[in-house]
A = this chain, B = another copy of it.
Amino acid sequence: MEKIRICLVGAGRAGEVHGDVYFFSVPYAKITAVFDTDISKARNLSNKYKIDEKFAFEKFEDALSFSEFDAAVITTPTFTHYQYTEMAARKKIHVFCEKPMAITLEDCDRMINVCEKEKILLQIGFMRRFDVGFAGAKKMIENGVIGEPLIVKSVGRGPGLPGKWAFDIKNSNGNLAEVNSHDFDSVRWLSGSDYKRIYAVAKNSKNPEIGKEYPLFYDNATVSATMKNEVFGMIDSVCPCDYGYDARAEVVGTKGVLFIGSLQECTTVTCTREKGMVAPQVLSWKKRFHDAYIAEDRHFIDCITQNIKPSVTGYDGKNAVAAVIAANKSVQEGMPVDL
Protein backbone atom coordinates (compact mmCIF):
# COMPACT_ATOMS: atom_id res chain seq x y z
CA MET A 1 0.00 0.00 0.00
CA GLU A 2 0.99 3.60 -0.57
CA LYS A 3 2.27 5.48 2.45
CA ILE A 4 0.78 8.88 3.20
CA ARG A 5 3.42 11.53 2.54
CA ILE A 6 3.92 14.14 5.23
CA CYS A 7 5.41 17.62 5.19
CA LEU A 8 6.45 18.92 8.58
CA VAL A 9 5.46 22.59 8.67
CA GLY A 10 7.66 23.80 11.49
CA ALA A 11 10.79 22.04 12.71
CA GLY A 12 10.89 23.19 16.32
CA ARG A 13 10.09 21.21 19.48
CA ALA A 14 6.55 20.26 18.51
CA GLY A 15 7.60 19.58 14.94
CA GLU A 16 10.19 17.12 16.13
CA VAL A 17 7.69 15.41 18.43
CA HIS A 18 5.40 14.72 15.50
CA GLY A 19 8.34 13.98 13.23
CA ASP A 20 9.60 11.32 15.62
CA VAL A 21 6.17 9.81 15.89
CA TYR A 22 5.77 9.61 12.12
CA PHE A 23 9.27 8.27 11.62
CA PHE A 24 9.35 5.69 14.39
CA SER A 25 5.76 4.70 14.98
CA VAL A 26 3.44 5.30 12.04
CA PRO A 27 4.18 2.63 9.46
CA TYR A 28 1.54 3.89 7.02
CA ALA A 29 3.12 7.34 6.65
CA LYS A 30 6.46 8.76 5.71
CA ILE A 31 7.93 12.22 6.02
CA THR A 32 8.89 13.57 2.64
CA ALA A 33 9.48 17.28 3.31
CA VAL A 34 10.35 19.61 6.16
CA PHE A 35 9.77 23.33 6.19
CA ASP A 36 10.95 25.90 8.69
CA THR A 37 11.77 29.59 8.25
CA ASP A 38 14.95 28.63 10.09
CA ILE A 39 16.37 26.41 7.37
CA SER A 40 18.99 24.88 9.67
CA LYS A 41 16.22 23.40 11.78
CA ALA A 42 14.50 22.04 8.70
CA ARG A 43 17.76 20.46 7.57
CA ASN A 44 18.40 18.90 10.96
CA LEU A 45 15.09 17.13 10.88
CA SER A 46 15.46 16.10 7.26
CA ASN A 47 18.70 14.42 8.25
CA LYS A 48 17.15 12.81 11.29
CA TYR A 49 14.37 11.37 9.19
CA LYS A 50 16.65 10.21 6.36
CA ILE A 51 15.25 12.61 3.76
CA ASP A 52 17.37 14.24 1.11
CA GLU A 53 18.29 17.75 2.31
CA LYS A 54 16.83 19.17 -0.86
CA PHE A 55 13.47 18.48 0.70
CA ALA A 56 14.25 20.82 3.58
CA PHE A 57 12.68 24.19 2.74
CA GLU A 58 12.69 27.67 4.24
CA LYS A 59 9.57 28.77 2.37
CA PHE A 60 6.37 26.81 2.52
CA GLU A 61 5.66 27.86 -1.06
CA ASP A 62 8.80 26.02 -2.10
CA ALA A 63 7.81 22.92 -0.18
CA LEU A 64 4.48 23.00 -1.99
CA SER A 65 6.10 23.54 -5.35
CA PHE A 66 9.16 21.33 -5.19
CA SER A 67 8.16 18.33 -3.15
CA GLU A 68 5.23 15.97 -2.98
CA PHE A 69 3.11 15.26 0.06
CA ASP A 70 -0.45 14.45 1.01
CA ALA A 71 -0.62 16.08 4.41
CA ALA A 72 0.88 18.99 6.32
CA VAL A 73 1.62 18.84 10.04
CA ILE A 74 1.63 22.44 11.22
CA THR A 75 3.55 23.28 14.40
CA THR A 76 4.64 26.85 13.64
CA PRO A 77 3.75 29.81 15.91
CA THR A 78 0.02 30.24 16.35
CA PHE A 79 -0.38 33.43 14.35
CA THR A 80 0.88 31.62 11.20
CA HIS A 81 -1.58 28.72 11.38
CA TYR A 82 -4.21 30.29 9.21
CA GLN A 83 -1.77 31.20 6.47
CA TYR A 84 -0.17 27.76 6.14
CA THR A 85 -3.48 25.99 6.45
CA GLU A 86 -4.89 28.00 3.61
CA MET A 87 -1.85 27.43 1.41
CA ALA A 88 -2.01 23.70 2.03
CA ALA A 89 -5.75 23.46 1.57
CA ARG A 90 -5.62 25.25 -1.75
CA LYS A 91 -3.34 22.46 -2.95
CA LYS A 92 -5.65 19.76 -1.55
CA ILE A 93 -3.17 18.95 1.17
CA HIS A 94 -4.74 17.61 4.40
CA VAL A 95 -3.93 19.60 7.51
CA PHE A 96 -3.04 18.60 11.01
CA CYS A 97 -2.68 21.81 13.02
CA GLU A 98 -1.27 22.07 16.51
CA LYS A 99 -3.12 23.95 19.22
CA PRO A 100 -3.94 26.78 19.72
CA MET A 101 -5.72 26.72 16.40
CA ALA A 102 -5.31 30.46 15.83
CA ILE A 103 -5.24 33.83 17.58
CA THR A 104 -8.64 35.07 16.44
CA LEU A 105 -12.01 33.48 15.89
CA GLU A 106 -11.96 34.95 12.39
CA ASP A 107 -8.83 32.96 11.56
CA CYS A 108 -10.46 29.84 12.97
CA ASP A 109 -13.48 30.36 10.77
CA ARG A 110 -11.35 30.97 7.70
CA MET A 111 -9.39 27.75 8.39
CA ILE A 112 -12.57 25.76 8.80
CA ASN A 113 -14.07 27.26 5.68
CA VAL A 114 -11.14 26.78 3.38
CA CYS A 115 -10.72 23.15 4.46
CA GLU A 116 -14.40 22.50 3.93
CA LYS A 117 -14.42 24.21 0.58
CA GLU A 118 -11.36 22.34 -0.60
CA LYS A 119 -12.70 19.11 0.90
CA ILE A 120 -9.56 18.39 2.86
CA LEU A 121 -9.32 17.08 6.39
CA LEU A 122 -8.49 19.38 9.27
CA GLN A 123 -7.45 17.89 12.61
CA ILE A 124 -6.50 20.00 15.64
CA GLY A 125 -3.74 18.82 18.00
CA PHE A 126 -5.63 18.07 21.22
CA MET A 127 -3.62 14.93 21.87
CA ARG A 128 -5.09 14.45 25.34
CA ARG A 129 -8.20 13.11 23.68
CA PHE A 130 -6.05 10.19 22.51
CA ASP A 131 -4.50 9.52 25.90
CA VAL A 132 -5.65 6.19 27.34
CA GLY A 133 -6.56 7.88 30.62
CA PHE A 134 -8.50 10.81 29.18
CA ALA A 135 -10.19 8.73 26.50
CA GLY A 136 -11.13 6.04 29.00
CA ALA A 137 -12.53 8.68 31.31
CA LYS A 138 -14.65 10.19 28.55
CA LYS A 139 -16.08 6.76 27.85
CA MET A 140 -16.81 6.11 31.50
CA ILE A 141 -18.62 9.43 31.76
CA GLU A 142 -20.67 8.60 28.69
CA ASN A 143 -21.47 5.23 30.23
CA GLY A 144 -22.80 6.96 33.32
CA VAL A 145 -20.22 5.61 35.73
CA ILE A 146 -20.23 8.83 37.74
CA GLY A 147 -23.75 9.99 36.87
CA GLU A 148 -24.19 13.42 35.32
CA PRO A 149 -21.12 15.68 35.50
CA LEU A 150 -21.37 18.56 37.95
CA ILE A 151 -17.84 19.99 38.00
CA VAL A 152 -14.89 19.42 35.67
CA LYS A 153 -11.45 20.46 36.90
CA SER A 154 -8.32 20.60 34.81
CA VAL A 155 -4.77 21.30 35.91
CA GLY A 156 -2.41 22.65 33.27
CA ARG A 157 1.09 23.46 34.48
CA GLY A 158 4.00 23.41 32.13
CA PRO A 159 7.68 23.67 32.90
CA GLY A 160 8.90 25.76 29.97
CA LEU A 161 7.74 29.15 28.80
CA PRO A 162 6.67 29.31 25.15
CA GLY A 163 8.87 31.28 22.76
CA LYS A 164 9.42 35.00 23.25
CA TRP A 165 6.90 35.84 20.57
CA ALA A 166 4.23 34.58 22.95
CA PHE A 167 5.01 36.99 25.82
CA ASP A 168 2.88 39.67 24.21
CA ILE A 169 -0.63 38.55 24.92
CA LYS A 170 -1.97 40.42 21.93
CA ASN A 171 0.17 38.22 19.69
CA SER A 172 -0.41 34.97 21.47
CA ASN A 173 -3.37 35.14 23.84
CA GLY A 174 -0.82 34.31 26.55
CA ASN A 175 -0.25 31.17 28.54
CA LEU A 176 -3.95 30.42 28.75
CA ALA A 177 -3.68 29.81 25.00
CA GLU A 178 -0.22 28.35 24.66
CA VAL A 179 -0.33 26.14 27.76
CA ASN A 180 -3.98 25.75 28.66
CA SER A 181 -5.76 25.30 25.33
CA HIS A 182 -5.71 21.64 26.27
CA ASP A 183 -7.51 22.34 29.54
CA PHE A 184 -10.15 24.48 27.85
CA ASP A 185 -10.71 21.66 25.40
CA SER A 186 -10.81 19.01 28.13
CA VAL A 187 -13.38 20.87 30.21
CA ARG A 188 -15.57 21.30 27.14
CA TRP A 189 -15.11 17.72 25.98
CA LEU A 190 -15.56 16.06 29.37
CA SER A 191 -18.51 18.25 30.36
CA GLY A 192 -20.14 17.64 27.00
CA SER A 193 -21.08 21.27 26.54
CA ASP A 194 -19.91 24.62 25.18
CA TYR A 195 -18.82 27.56 27.30
CA LYS A 196 -21.45 30.00 28.54
CA ARG A 197 -19.59 32.23 30.95
CA ILE A 198 -15.99 32.60 32.11
CA TYR A 199 -14.34 34.39 35.00
CA ALA A 200 -10.56 34.38 35.20
CA VAL A 201 -7.80 35.95 37.25
CA ALA A 202 -4.12 36.01 36.39
CA LYS A 203 -0.90 37.46 37.71
CA ASN A 204 2.79 37.54 37.00
CA SER A 205 4.55 36.16 40.07
CA LYS A 206 7.87 34.86 38.87
CA ASN A 207 8.86 36.86 35.83
CA PRO A 208 9.12 40.53 36.74
CA GLU A 209 11.66 41.12 33.98
CA ILE A 210 9.22 39.93 31.32
CA GLY A 211 6.54 42.00 33.00
CA LYS A 212 8.52 45.18 32.41
CA GLU A 213 8.38 44.77 28.68
CA TYR A 214 5.01 43.00 28.54
CA PRO A 215 2.80 44.33 31.35
CA LEU A 216 -0.07 41.98 30.49
CA PHE A 217 2.11 38.88 30.71
CA TYR A 218 1.02 36.44 33.43
CA ASP A 219 2.53 33.19 34.65
CA ASN A 220 -0.27 31.84 36.80
CA ALA A 221 -4.02 32.03 36.52
CA THR A 222 -7.26 30.41 37.53
CA VAL A 223 -10.41 30.08 35.46
CA SER A 224 -13.97 29.54 36.66
CA ALA A 225 -16.35 28.55 33.88
CA THR A 226 -20.05 27.82 33.55
CA MET A 227 -20.94 25.61 30.62
CA LYS A 228 -24.19 25.82 28.67
CA ASN A 229 -25.43 22.69 30.41
CA GLU A 230 -24.65 24.34 33.78
CA VAL A 231 -21.63 22.14 34.50
CA PHE A 232 -18.93 24.17 36.25
CA GLY A 233 -15.35 24.17 35.00
CA MET A 234 -12.20 25.02 36.94
CA ILE A 235 -8.80 25.43 35.36
CA ASP A 236 -5.54 26.47 36.90
CA SER A 237 -2.50 27.48 34.97
CA VAL A 238 1.13 27.76 36.02
CA CYS A 239 3.93 28.29 33.53
CA PRO A 240 6.83 28.12 33.96
CA CYS A 241 6.11 25.41 36.52
CA ASP A 242 9.34 24.63 38.33
CA TYR A 243 8.49 21.22 39.58
CA GLY A 244 7.48 19.49 36.37
CA TYR A 245 4.75 19.02 33.82
CA ASP A 246 1.47 18.58 35.63
CA ALA A 247 -1.60 17.68 33.61
CA ARG A 248 -4.46 16.16 35.54
CA ALA A 249 -8.22 16.37 35.49
CA GLU A 250 -11.03 15.51 37.85
CA VAL A 251 -14.72 15.16 37.12
CA VAL A 252 -17.33 15.13 39.88
CA GLY A 253 -20.67 13.74 38.92
CA THR A 254 -23.99 13.20 40.62
CA LYS A 255 -22.97 9.66 41.55
CA GLY A 256 -19.19 9.59 41.69
CA VAL A 257 -15.87 11.13 40.90
CA LEU A 258 -13.20 10.39 38.34
CA PHE A 259 -9.50 11.25 38.45
CA ILE A 260 -7.42 11.43 35.29
CA GLY A 261 -3.65 11.46 35.12
CA SER A 262 -0.92 11.62 37.67
CA LEU A 263 2.11 13.74 38.40
CA GLN A 264 4.09 10.56 39.01
CA GLU A 265 6.11 9.52 35.99
CA CYS A 266 6.78 5.91 36.67
CA THR A 267 6.06 3.41 39.36
CA THR A 268 9.62 3.01 40.57
CA VAL A 269 9.70 4.30 44.12
CA THR A 270 12.65 4.40 46.48
CA CYS A 271 12.82 5.03 50.19
CA THR A 272 15.76 6.02 52.31
CA ARG A 273 15.83 7.55 55.74
CA GLU A 274 17.09 10.93 54.56
CA LYS A 275 14.89 11.41 51.54
CA GLY A 276 11.73 9.51 52.45
CA MET A 277 9.67 7.86 49.76
CA VAL A 278 10.58 9.30 46.41
CA ALA A 279 9.01 8.86 43.00
CA PRO A 280 9.97 10.68 39.82
CA GLN A 281 7.53 13.30 38.58
CA VAL A 282 6.56 13.90 34.97
CA LEU A 283 8.93 16.50 33.57
CA SER A 284 7.92 16.72 29.95
CA TRP A 285 4.72 16.75 27.94
CA LYS A 286 6.51 14.73 25.27
CA LYS A 287 6.95 11.84 27.67
CA ARG A 288 3.62 12.25 29.44
CA PHE A 289 1.68 12.11 26.20
CA HIS A 290 4.11 10.00 24.17
CA ASP A 291 1.56 7.30 23.44
CA ALA A 292 -1.20 9.86 22.92
CA TYR A 293 0.84 11.58 20.21
CA ILE A 294 1.28 8.25 18.46
CA ALA A 295 -2.44 7.52 18.64
CA GLU A 296 -3.24 11.04 17.48
CA ASP A 297 -0.98 10.88 14.45
CA ARG A 298 -2.12 7.37 13.53
CA HIS A 299 -5.68 8.63 13.74
CA PHE A 300 -4.88 11.44 11.31
CA ILE A 301 -3.37 8.96 8.85
CA ASP A 302 -6.29 6.57 9.29
CA CYS A 303 -8.72 9.41 8.56
CA ILE A 304 -6.87 10.23 5.37
CA THR A 305 -6.61 6.65 4.15
CA GLN A 306 -10.22 5.86 5.05
CA ASN A 307 -11.51 9.31 4.15
CA ILE A 308 -13.32 9.90 7.43
CA LYS A 309 -13.58 13.05 9.52
CA PRO A 310 -11.03 13.41 12.33
CA SER A 311 -12.48 13.13 15.82
CA VAL A 312 -10.95 16.48 16.78
CA THR A 313 -12.14 19.16 14.41
CA GLY A 314 -11.65 22.81 13.60
CA TYR A 315 -14.85 23.45 15.50
CA ASP A 316 -13.21 22.03 18.63
CA GLY A 317 -10.17 24.17 18.02
CA LYS A 318 -12.28 27.29 17.57
CA ASN A 319 -14.22 26.72 20.79
CA ALA A 320 -11.01 26.52 22.79
CA VAL A 321 -9.82 29.75 21.19
CA ALA A 322 -13.13 31.42 22.05
CA ALA A 323 -12.81 30.38 25.68
CA VAL A 324 -9.22 31.60 25.90
CA ILE A 325 -10.19 34.98 24.45
CA ALA A 326 -13.04 35.30 26.94
CA ALA A 327 -10.76 34.35 29.84
CA ASN A 328 -8.17 36.95 28.86
CA LYS A 329 -10.89 39.55 28.59
CA SER A 330 -12.15 38.60 32.04
CA VAL A 331 -8.66 38.94 33.48
CA GLN A 332 -8.35 42.43 32.10
CA GLU A 333 -11.84 43.62 33.01
CA GLY A 334 -12.13 41.89 36.38
CA MET A 335 -15.58 40.67 35.43
CA PRO A 336 -17.14 37.46 34.14
CA VAL A 337 -17.48 37.33 30.36
CA ASP A 338 -20.34 35.71 28.47
CA LEU A 339 -19.67 33.67 25.36
**Is the CB of A211 closer than 8 A to any CB of chain B?**
no
Chain A 240-278 interface residues, beta-carbon cutoff 8 Å to B = 241-244, 246, 252, 254-264, 266-273, 275-278
How far, in angstroms, from A167 to B259 measured CA to CA in the complex? Answer: 30
CB distance from A271 to the nearest CB of B (A): 5
**Which of B236, B242, B267, B280 touches A262 (beta carbons < 8 Å)?**
B267
How far, in angstroms, from A252 to B157 measured CA to CA in the complex? Answer: 10
CB distance from A190 to the nearest CB of B (A): 12
**Which of B205, B261, B281 touches A267 (beta carbons < 8 Å)?**
B261
| B254 near A272: Cβ-Cβ < 8 Å | no
How far, in angstroms, from A151 to B223 measured CA to CA in the complex? Answer: 12
**Is the CB of A140 closer than 8 A to any CB of chain B?**
yes
**Is the CB of A315 closer than 8 A to any CB of chain B?**
no
A133-B266, A150-B238 known; A230+B203 contact, CB < 8 A: yes
Tally chain A residues at the interface, Cβ within 8 Å: 71
| A270 near B246: Cβ-Cβ < 8 Å | no
How far, in angstroms, from A241 to B256 measured CA to CA in the complex? Answer: 8
How far, in angstroms, from A151 to B258 measured CA to CA in the complex? Answer: 22
> Which residues from chain B contact A133 at a C-beta distance below 8 Å?
266-268
**Is the CB of A326 closer than 8 A to any CB of chain B?**
no
**Is the CB of A146 closer than 8 A to any CB of chain B?**
yes
| B270 near A145: Cβ-Cβ < 8 Å | yes
> Which residues from chain B contact A242 at a C-beta distance below 8 Å?
147, 254-256, 272-273
A201-B226, A232-B220, A261-B267 known; A256+B279 contact, CB < 8 A: no
> Which residues from chain B contact A270 at a C-beta distance below 8 Å?
140, 145-146, 256-259
| B220 near A238: Cβ-Cβ < 8 Å | no
Who on chain B is nearest to A270 by CB?
B258
**Is the CB of A215 closer than 8 A to any CB of chain B?**
no
How far, in angstroms, from A260 to B260 measured CA to CA in the complex? Answer: 18
> Which residues from chain B contact A150 at a C-beta distance below 8 Å?
205, 220, 238
| B279 near A277: Cβ-Cβ < 8 Å | yes
> Which residues from chain B contact A205 at a C-beta distance below 8 Å?
148, 150, 230, 254
Interface string of A318-335 (1 = CB under 8 A from B): 000000000000000011
**Is the CB of A161 closer than 8 A to any CB of chain B?**
no
Can you list 7 A-B contacts (CB < 8 A)? Answer: A206-B254, A224-B224, A236-B252, A259-B267, A273-B283, A276-B278, A335-B335
Given A157-B252, A256-B270, A335-B336, output 12 extra A-B contacts at Cβ < 8 Å: A140-B268, A145-B270, A151-B220, A151-B238, A201-B224, A220-B252, A222-B224, A259-B267, A259-B268, A264-B277, A271-B281, A277-B281
